Every structure is written in C-alpha cells, then in structure tokens.
C-alpha cells in the first residue's frame, strides 16, 4: 500500500516537471521578445537600432532643442550690435524751438575704425532729419551724424563716437542663401520694443521688388531683396537679418502690410549693401553713371501719341521715351533728342525706365561706352555715348 502511494507521488511529480519547464520557457521567451522589441542588448549579441514612432519623436525633440539653442546663441552674439535710431525734425534757433522726435527705426553697427563707429540703417528712417539720435542696446543714447543715404537702395550710413560701442556685428554672405534656411530678424518694432527677435526662414533669396522713389505711381527701380517670413513690423526697418552663425546677411527694409497678407518681409542683401555703404561713407552718395535724359516708359504714354509725335512703327510696343535730353550730357552729345524712343542698350532690350536704370547702375560705370538703339520719326537708329558722373 505504501509502495503504491509512493509510486503515485512519483508519477504526479514527474508530470509536474514538464509543466514547470514549459511555463518557465514561456515566461523567458516573452521576456526576451520584450527586450528585443524595446531595443535592449542581449548578452553576447550586437546592439540593434530600433526605429519606431517613439524614437522618431525623441529625435525630433532633440533637433528642436539644438535648433533653439542655435538661435539663442546667434541672437546673443549679435543682438548688442542692433540699435534704435530716432529721427528728429523741425526746430528753429530763432524761434526758440527744438527738434522733436518724428519717427524711429533700427540700425546695425557694422564697422569700427579708430574712435568712430558706423551704423547702417534705411534711407526712409533718416529722411528729412534735422537731428539723429542712437540708442544702444544697453540704453545709452548718443548723437549720430548722417554721412549719406540712397533712396533707390533704401540705405543710409551714420557715424557715432565709438567710446560707448561694445559690439560690432560680424558680416556674412547673402549670395549663397537658399530658400528654407533659417533667418532671424532683430529690431525695435513700434519704436519702443527694443531688441525684439523674430525667427523664420528664407522664403526667396533673390526676389525683385518695384521701388517708386517719388511716389508718383511710376516704378523707378527694381530692388533685389531677400524675402523672409520672419516678422518685420514698423520700427524694424534698418535692423539686422542674421543667420544661425549670428552673421549679418541682410538689412531689414520693409513689410508688405496688406489685408490677409502675413509673413512677407524683405531685407537688402548684405552683398549688395556693402559696396553702396562704402560709397555713402566716403562720398555721401552712391556714385552712378549719368546718361542725361528724363525718361518715360512707353507704356505710360497714351497710345494715340504713338503716331504723333512719336511716329512709331506698329511693331514697336515697348521702350523708353526721351522726354527731355540735356544738351551737354552724354545723351545730348550723342545726338539723342526729345521724342526719341530707346528700345535697346548694348543689344539688351529695355522695355521700361527701371530696365534702363538697372542695366546702367549694375552693369556699367562712369566712363563706360554704351550703344543705344532708338527710333526717330519711324526710323531705327544707333548711337554711342560715354557715361559721365552725375554732378
């Protein structure tokens, strides 16, 4: 009887062993699968990188932190070189009145020589000023002298005493910019929010925008600008557009302020600005070649005048009408007269006044010869003139 009981226990015990082994094996299998799925290393095997939605979100978060840190570093590097520029107008010594603040914008300290520092800003920020004052990043106010400004490029250069200037911005390059690159705008929007930072991207690296200098409704110039979606508001004009290295890549100039239009701001590329700034600093103006005519785009002339007095052939639909030709100018000496219609310069087609100015200012210099193709009394003619300096 005892032997039968012992045999039963042994049989039961023998049945339990396989069950325990199966359970343990199952648990170990699940654990191993869990560890593999979670990306842990199993002893004796090489690590395997796991790509899952979870790891992707961690990576994106890390990139966001790095990017934010880069923007912060760029701003810290360049922010103290951005200043506020206040335009004072009026004032009369004999009437006992003083100049009053009439507007403000931003500026960038871009150069220092000896005991002088130089600030770039926009022409429209300083236009008509009888007195200019600059407020540094630390709140220090110093007087500024206008050395020169240019309406076409919307640039101006101010000179200040460098004693209190602590930082000069590093200059970058704008010629290699590409859409999608980070862009950071620093300025003083609304005239009192000093040192405001907005960030975005380069929307277009080489946009052309029409410029009407005298507000007569006629385009005087096609300005080459950087388009960015970094917020640029009134008061930002003249401030810095920088890259992630904290380098100056553009001078903020304007913002399209239209209903339902946001995120469209413009800056003058630093590569275009620098040569002009040197001329403004040295001569007080940007020296451009002078042709000596008062031009009007043919498209601005009512079509009934195409027959008389212009006497144009039917195929001529575009060009530049000579409204006036100065006798002692390059144009006058080359024989150009009132009512001549210029259609080409050096074989390049010109359809409007801005085309002519852009070609002369960008491609030519004082002393250059230019071949002009024009129509007079229905006849096609050519002449060559030598550009002089505007006095």
pLDDT in tens, 155-194: 999 999 999 999 999 999 998 899 999 999 999 877 667 7
Is residue 218 classed exposed, middle or buried when 0-12, 13-18 and 19+ CB atoms within 10 A define those classes? middle
Told to judge if 123 belongs to the known catalytic residues of this protein, a careful annotator would answer no
pLDDT at 191: 66
Separation CA 89–CA 84 (nearest Å):
16
Q: How many other C-beta atoms are found inside a 10 Å radius of the C-beta of residue 89?
A: 14
183: its two tokens = 């862009």
| Contacts (Cβ under 8 Å, ≥6 apart) of 63 | none
Across the chain, which distance is largest between two alpha carbons, in Å? 142
Is the distance from CB of 184 to CB of 230 less than 8 angstroms?
Answer: yes
Catalytic residue among 106, 123, 154, 253: 154
Catalytic residue among 106, 124, 254, 329: 124
Determine the 3-state secondary structure of 388 from DSSP.
strand
pLDDT band at 13 (very low <50, low <70, confident <90, very high): very low
Entry field: residues in the chain: 391
**What would the pLDDT profile of 214-267 be if each residue is shown by its tens digit?**
777 767 777 889 999 998 877 888 999 999 999 999 999 876 655 556 678 899
27: its two tokens = 């648990």
pLDDT greater than 60 at residue 40? no
Average pLDDT, the chain: 81
Q: What is the mean pLDDT of residues 307-312?
A: 93
Q: What is the mean pLDDT of residues 16-35?
A: 48
The pairing of beta strand 100-113 with beta strand 388-389: unpaired
Out of 3.40.1110.10, 3.30.1490.20, 2.40.10.10, 3.75.10.10, select the CATH number for domain 172-283: 2.40.10.10
Task: Return the sign of the alpha-carbon dihedral for residues 51, 53, 57, 63.
Answer: positive
Least confident among 120-129, 220-229, 267-276, 319-328:
220-229
91: its two tokens = 């004032």
pLDDT at 197: 92
Q: Where are the domains of the chain?
A: 79-164, 172-283, 289-389
* CATH no., domain 79-164: 2.40.10.10
| Contacts (Cβ under 8 Å, ≥6 apart) of 307 | none
Q: What is the mean pLDDT of residues 255-283?
A: 83
pLDDT greater than 90 at residue 93? no
Q: Could you tell me where the beta strands, DSSP code E, fall in 212-316?
A: 221-228, 240-242, 247-255, 265-269, 289-290, 293-297
Told to judge if 124 belongs to the known catalytic residues of this protein, a careful annotator would answer yes
At 304, phi and psi to the nearest 5?
-65, -20
Separation CA 10–CA 26 (nearest Å):
25
pLDDT greater than 90 at residue 349? yes
Separation CA 225–CA 272 (nearest Å):
9
Told to judge if 167 belongs to the known catalytic residues of this protein, a careful annotator would answer no
Distance of CA 297 to the CA centre of its chain: 29
CATH 2.30.42.10 for domain 289-389, yes or no, is yes
Same fold, 172-283 and 289-389: no
Radius of gyration of the chain (CA): 35
More confident residue, 1 or 301: 301
Catalytic residue among 84, 149, 237, 325: 237
Q: What is the mean pLDDT of residues 313-329?
A: 92
pLDDT at 249: 97
Separation CA 75–CA 260 (nearest Å):
30
């Amino acid at each position: 009887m005892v032997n039968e009981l012992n045999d039963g226990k042994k049989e039961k015990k023998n049945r339990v062993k396989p069950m325990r082994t199966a359970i343990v094996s199952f648990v170990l299998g699940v654990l191993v699968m869990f560890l593999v799925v979670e990306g842990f290393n199993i002893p004796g095997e090489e690590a395997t990188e796991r790509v899952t939605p979870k790891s992707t979100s961690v990576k994106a978060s890390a990139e966001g932190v790095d990017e934010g840190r880069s923007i912060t570093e760029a701003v810290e590097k360049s922010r103290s070189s951005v200043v506020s520029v206040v335009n004072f107008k009026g004032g009369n010594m004999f009437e006992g009145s003083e100049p009053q603040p009439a507007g403000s914008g931003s500026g960038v300290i871009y150069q220092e020589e000896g005991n002088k520092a130089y600030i770039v800003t926009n022409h429209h920020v300083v236009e008509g000023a009888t007195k200019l004052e600059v407020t540094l990043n630390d709140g220090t106010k110093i007087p500024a002298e206008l050395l020169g400004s240019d309406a076409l490029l919307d640039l101006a250069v101010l000179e200040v005493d460098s004693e209190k200037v602590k930082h000069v911005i590093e200059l970058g390059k704008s010629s290699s910019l590409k859409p999608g690159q980070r862009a950071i705008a620093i300025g003083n929007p609304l005239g009192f929010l000093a040192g405001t930072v907005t960030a975005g991207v380069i929307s277009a690296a080489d946009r052309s925008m029409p410029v009407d200098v005298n507000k007569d409704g006629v385009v005087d110039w096609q300005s080459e600008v950087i388009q960015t979606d970094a917020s640029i508001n009134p008061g930002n004009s003249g401030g810095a557009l920088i890259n992630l290295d904290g380098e100056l890549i553009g001078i903020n100039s304007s913002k399209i302020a239209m209903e339902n239009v946001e995120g469209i701001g413009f800056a003058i590329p630093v590569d275009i600005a620098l040569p002009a700034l040197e001329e403004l600093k040295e001569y007080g103006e940007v020296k451009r070649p002078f042709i000596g005519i008062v031009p009007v785009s043919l498209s601005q002339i009512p079509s009934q005048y195409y027959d008389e007095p212009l006497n144009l052939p039917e195929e001529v639909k575009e060009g530049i009408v000579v409204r006036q030709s100065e006798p002692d100018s390059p144009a006058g000496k080359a024989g150009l007269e009132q009512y001549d219609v210029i259609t080409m310069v050096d074989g390049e087609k010109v359809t409007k006044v801005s085309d002519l100015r852009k070609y002369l200012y960008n491609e030519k210099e004082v002393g250059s010869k230019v071949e002009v193709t024009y129509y007079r009394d229905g006849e096609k003619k050519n002449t060559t003139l030598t550009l002089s300096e505007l006095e």
